Amino acid sequence: MSGHKFLFSGLRWWISGRSRWMSKLHDGLREQRIASLHSCSPKVCIVGGGPAGFYTAQHLIKARQDVEVDIYERLPVPFGLVRFGVAPDHPEVKNVINTFTQTAKHTRCSFYGNVNVGKDVSVEELQRAYHAVVLVRTWKIKTKHRKSPLNKSLNVLFFWGGILWQSYGAEGNRSIGVPGEELTGVYSAKDFVGWYNGLPSCRELSPDLSCETAVILGQGNVALDVARVLLSPLDILKKTDITQPALEALTGSQVRRVLIVGRRGPMQVACTIKELREMVNLPDTRPEMVVSDFEGVTEALKDLPRPRKRLTELLLKTALETPGEKEQERRNKASRTWGFRFFRSPVEVLADPERSRTAGVRLAVNKLEGSGERARAVLTGEVEDVTCGLVISSIGYKSLPIDPSVPFDSSKAIVPNTMGRVQQASGLYCSGWLKTGPTGVIATTMNNSFDTARSLLEDMDSGTVDVSAAKSGSHIISSLLEERGVKPVTFSDWEKIDNVEMRRGEAIGKPREKLLTVEEMLRVARTVTEDKKQFLGKQSSCCQRGPR
Ligand code: FAD
Ligand code: NAP
């Protein structure tokens, strides 16, 4: 049999083989595309393989039959916060991964994981290689710094009261801007969430859960995710994709009481009703609220917009109503408690006598100025101390400037843009949390990503983005990366990781057991599967020459 014939029959065998081989063929087709350097297809590059990246790609590919999209992702694995943010006990939310996978497997879409844009390749290099570049969020926890060492506590009080906004910080810095924050037992929600969700950079966190009371600062959905994970019965958690080290730490956890602290009142909580209901119904827990926090709330209900009204009604019911017999019995039997604490801003994390770990948190008591969503917290001058051994700051996420060449508004932590068009930067777009700031659920991110895609398509049609000249796209970027020793992870490489994780999970009754280090992910991504070994073996024995 001639080499060609053998190759052909090998290819047929390959296609009729197992389904995962289809993605290999897809890679082959992709290479053909790379080879056709002079194709005039519009080439778009997306930085960030989270929801915004995949939704932008999906819309572009659907709307134009000729556009080719490459997604560059810093980690070897795709899906951003769907993998590393969404709580393990919310598996239904993660179903969006199926849609993202369809996009990634489209013949006009390629995924390049393990490429850190801004470090491995610059945005300017991407702009030279592609007709357009779309940036999505880059991670950073929202942090606070005091403006001046003078009058420290005043600054801190002002900032937590919402009067002084001095916010910046470095990635991974878990500063909350109050004295004592360096003590053992103080964590940022981003790190804590990253730890239980297997984010490689948070693997070593090992939070100390040996205390009875935990305080969470902030009352958004992330705060509620963290509270739920801390208090959930293990029977629930062990059927999720929470990492095994986190599950083991939670098994030994002594935390029995979680206080969720907000600087404003019940009518300003940032969580949504579904998440609040989950707390209310969490097995083996009972709510513990302060009745006086709800003064005047019942009277104000009638003027609230509907979603806020329903949320406030549930809060009122939980805090003030005498429960029915069955619910009372459930609450009496509960071994754990949770509750909101309103009108409170932290001013200091208190140390134990050895000054080695957290023993409590000092809270300033606030009152509200104004009403509704825009009400502002102002200090009353009173303080109170809460005993606790764990403090988790959950006051929101923040994007990082990706590259010095890209404009960045540090006060809003967004790339300044008009409908996704980066201001004063032709051919540069932004999507997702980098465009809007760190708020919004996946559906909101989807809509804002579709909007960015629409802006880009309009600009291609109008000629504002010139797609008439051929661009080399990933061809040139791959060469640059190779020169720099960076080996991207393709989507079919990710599928190997996915496979290993699912098999590991299956063995212990979980949907998935995540790989926890980048090294391990890369090792699995680069394994050659048995099927492929056989195919390559047949191919080389047939040809009997050429490099091995
Ligand atoms: P991300 O998801 O953060 O994706 C950005 C991607 O860019 C990441 O993969 C990152 O690794 C990559 N990246 C960063 N820097 C670089 C770089 N330099 N080079 C290349 N790539 C880079 N929404 C819901 O609807 N339901 C939920 O249950 C829910 N839970 C959440 C839980 C948490 C803890 C958080 C924080 C958010 C949650 N959300 C939830 C909101 C949802 O996750 C966001 O709306 C969505 O992920 C935003 O998408 P994005 O693509 O803008 O950002
Ligand atoms: P968030 O919703 O913006 O909540 C942040 C919380 O921190 C608010 O209570 C806010 O209070 C407080 N805060 C902010 N800055 C503060 C400061 N300087 N001092 C004191 N308190 C401060 O943020 P998030 O919880 O991180 O969530 C981010 C986004 O992801 C949200 O849109 C959320 O809905 C989404 N998400 C969704 C889910 C879900 O659907 N299940 C789960 C997790 C996250 P103020 O209101 O007073 O500013």
Whether 371 is covered by a domain: the verdict is yes
pLDDT tens figures, 130-165 = 999 999 865 544 444 333 222 223 233 322 322 222
If asked whether residues 252 and 284 sit together in one domain, one would say yes
> Which residues are bridge partners to 70 per DSSP?
45, 110
If asked whether residues 385 and 434 sit together in one domain, one would say no
Which ligand is the nearest neighbour of the Cα of 275?
2
Quote the ligand 2 centre to 270 CA distance (angstroms). Answer: 6
Tell me if residue 93 falls in helix, strand or coil.
helix
If asked whether residues 313 and 434 sit together in one domain, one would say no
Q: How confident is the model at residue 399 (pLDDT cuts 50, 70, 90)?
A: confident
Give the residue, out of 181, 191, 221, with the most ligand 2 atoms within 8 A of its beta carbon, to mutate for a pocket test. 221
Whether the pLDDT of residue 4 is over 50: the answer is no
If asked whether residues 204 and 80 sit together in one domain, one would say no
Quote the ligand 1 centre to 457 CA distance (angstroms). Answer: 24
395 lines ligand 2 (CB under 6 A): yes
Q: Is 117 assigned to a binding site? A: yes
Q: How confident is the model at residue 3 (pLDDT cuts 50, 70, 90)?
A: very low
* pLDDT for res 183: 94
* pLDDT for res 532: 62
Whether the pLDDT of residue 284 is over 70: the answer is yes
Give 13 or 126, the one with higher predicted confidence.
126
If asked whether residues 190 and 305 sit together in one domain, one would say yes
If asked whether residues 376 and 480 sit together in one domain, one would say no
Whether 226 is covered by a domain: the verdict is yes
Quote the ligand 1 centre to 50 CA distance (angstroms). Answer: 5
Whether 162 is covered by a domain: the verdict is no
Q: How confident is the model at residue 9 (pLDDT cuts 50, 70, 90)?
A: very low
Quote the ligand 1 centre to 53 CA distance (angstroms). Answer: 10
* pLDDT for res 143: 43
Boundary (domain end) residue, out of 347, 377, 395: 395
Tokens of 288: 């513990």
Backbone angles phi, psi at 305, to 5 degrees: -65, 155
50 lines ligand 1 (CB under 6 A): yes
Quote the ligand 2 centre to 220 CA distance (angstroms). Answer: 4
Quote the ligand 1 centre to 432 CA distance (angstroms). Answer: 8
Contact assessment for residue 477 and residue 129, using Cβ atoms and an 8 Å cutoff: yes
Average pLDDT over residues 296-312: 95
Q: Which domain holds residue 333?
A: 175-395
| Other Cβ atoms within 10 Å of 105 Cβ, number | 15
The per-residue b/e assignment along 426-463, b for 16 or more CB within 10 angstroms, e otherwise, is ebbbbbbbbbbbbebebeebbebbbbbbebbbebbeee
Give the residue, out of 46, 54, 83, 86, with the most ligand 1 atoms within 8 A of its beta carbon, to mutate for a pocket test. 86
Whether 538 is covered by a domain: the verdict is no
403 lines ligand 1 (CB under 6 A): no
If asked whether residues 391 and 256 sit together in one domain, one would say yes
Whether 167 is covered by a domain: the verdict is no
Whether 266 is covered by a domain: the verdict is yes
What's 328's domain CATH number?
Answer: 3.50.50.60
Q: Are strands 390-393 and 186-188 parallel, antiparallel or unpaired?
A: parallel
Minimum CA distance residue for ligand 1 atom 39 = 441
265 lines ligand 2 (CB under 6 A): no
If asked whether residues 407 and 364 sit together in one domain, one would say no
Quote the ligand 2 centre to 481 CA distance (angstroms). Answer: 37
Quote the ligand 2 centre to 385 CA distance (angstroms). Answer: 24
* pLDDT for res 424: 83
Point out the ligand 1 atom lying closest to the alpha carbon of residue 117: 19
If asked whether residues 328 and 369 sit together in one domain, one would say yes
* pLDDT for res 296: 93
Minimum CA distance residue for ligand 2 atom 22 = 395
Tokens of 301: 């209900």
Contact assessment for residue 314 and residue 277, using Cβ atoms and an 8 Å cutoff: yes
* pLDDT for res 185: 96
If asked whether residues 429 and 498 sit together in one domain, one would say yes
Point out the ligand 1 atom lying closest to the alpha carbon of residue 72: 20
220 lines ligand 2 (CB under 6 A): yes
Q: Is 52 assigned to a binding site? A: yes
Residues with Cβ < 8 Å from 465, sequence gap 6 or more? 42, 131, 132, 426, 427, 456, 459
Average pLDDT over residues 326-346: 97
CA dist 515 and 526 (Å) reads 14
Q: Is 214 assigned to a binding site? A: no
CA dist 271 and 273 (Å) reads 7
Whether the pLDDT of residue 236 is over 50: the answer is yes
Q: How confident is the model at residue 176 (pLDDT cuts 50, 70, 90)?
A: confident
| Other Cβ atoms within 10 Å of 20 Cβ, number | 15
Residue 389 belongs to what H/E stretch? none
Whether 10 is covered by a domain: the verdict is no
DSSP per residue, 345-385: EEEEEEEPTTSSBEEEEEEEEEEEES-GGG-EEEEEEEEEE
If asked whether residues 292 and 347 sit together in one domain, one would say yes
Give the residue, out of 263, 272, 366, 444, with the most ligand 2 atoms within 8 A of its beta carbon, to mutate for a pocket test. 263
Which ligand is the nearest neighbour of the Cα of 347?
2
* pLDDT for res 533: 58
* pLDDT for res 544: 40
Name which of 74-78, 135-139, 239-243 the model is least confident about. 135-139
Which ligand is the nearest neighbour of the Cα of 264?
2
User: Helix 244-251 crosses helix 189-196 at what angle (to 10 degrees)?
Assistant: 110
Total domains in the fold of the chain: 2
Average pLDDT over residues 278-288: 97
User: Helix 474-483 crosses helix 20-35 at what angle (to 10 degrees)?
Assistant: 100
Average pLDDT over residues 469-477: 94
Whether the pLDDT of residue 203 is over 60: the answer is yes
Name which of 23-27, 116-120, 264-268, 458-462 the model is least confident about. 23-27
Average pLDDT over residues 406-423: 90
* pLDDT for res 413: 83
If asked whether residues 91 and 208 sit together in one domain, one would say no
Minimum CA distance residue for ligand 2 atom 9 = 219
Whether 287 is covered by a domain: the verdict is yes
CA dist 168 and 374 (Å) reads 23
